[in-house]
Amino acid sequence: MEQFRNIGIIGRLGSPHVLDTIRRLKRFLLDRHLHVILEDTIAEVLPGHGLQTSSRKILGEVCDLVIVVGGDGSMLGAARALARHNVPVLGVNRGSLGFLTDIRPDELEVKVAEVLDGRFSVENRFLLEAEVRRHGEAIGQGDALNDVVLHPGKSTRMIEFELHIDGQFVCSQKADGLIIATPTGSTAYALSAGGPIMHPKLDAIVVVPMYPHTLSSRPIVVDSTSELKIVVSPNLQIYPLVSCDGQNHFTCAPGDTITVRKKPQKLRLIHPLDHNYYEVCRTKLGWGSRLGGGD
């Protein structure tokens, strides 16, 4: 059983509900005589907290466990920073969906106590890393737990690009863009674009065209070890964007290449033992319950 003694807390800014939950979490952890460290940005809006503070990077280096209070967006940002440190991460949901932050605020103390007592499961979720190159020189790099997306930004014009997988030409395409998603991200933007739901245990990547200009274009699932390269048409008259998890963005020029591959480090995502992925899908996606009205 892992011994969690140094607990880091990351929270979403701008939400009084998040701050209330962090105060409760802080009291609970201190009552158990644990060492609690607040991320410096959230500490600034909690005057008189009396706790040690540190940057997100340092949290990953010194903590045995990091608890993220917020929505899935908060977890995505934390995951990109913490995966390299191999620190386990637990999510308390104060957002709207909660695919990644699955502890409800009303069960905070009970579920966190279970985790601290060693009653939890761990999922290793892989991330993607993307690199944009122009004339052979790297001009941008980003990581993503959910997806890497090529899109036109504010323009309403289509993008023309080529897709290569493991050095083999796959197709050229005109579309509103392209989504490259992990199993974690298959229930996010990729799902809205018609992609499949992939169980988190799958070691695969899904490639989903966004409103392609051909009816024969369909999502494709490839092995997670594949290297994907997107070549933006040199004749394109707009400058499309590449977004990582919808949070980090960089601009591409005509002729640029975007390379996407699996990141070596993984996120260690902790769940309480009663976590059920299919129950999460039922609840969050509005799937039907059992016949006869049973649970």
- Binding-site members for NAD(+) are 72-73, 146-147, 157, 174, 176, 187-192, 247
Q: Confirm whether 72 is a catalytic residue.
A: yes
Q: Which residues are annotated as a binding site?
A: 72-73, 146-147, 157, 174, 176, 187-192, 247
Q: Are 131 and 141 in contact (CB under 8 A)?
A: yes
Q: CA 27 to CA 21: how far, in whole Å?
A: 10
Q: What is the DSSP string of 225-279?
A: T--EEEEE-TT-SS--EEEETTTEEEE--TT-EEEEEEEEEEEEEEEETT--HHH
End-to-end CA distance of the chain: 32
Catalytic residue of the set 20, 40, 72, 143: 72
Q: CA 145 to CA 139: how far, in whole Å?
A: 21
Enumerate the active-site residues. Answer: 72
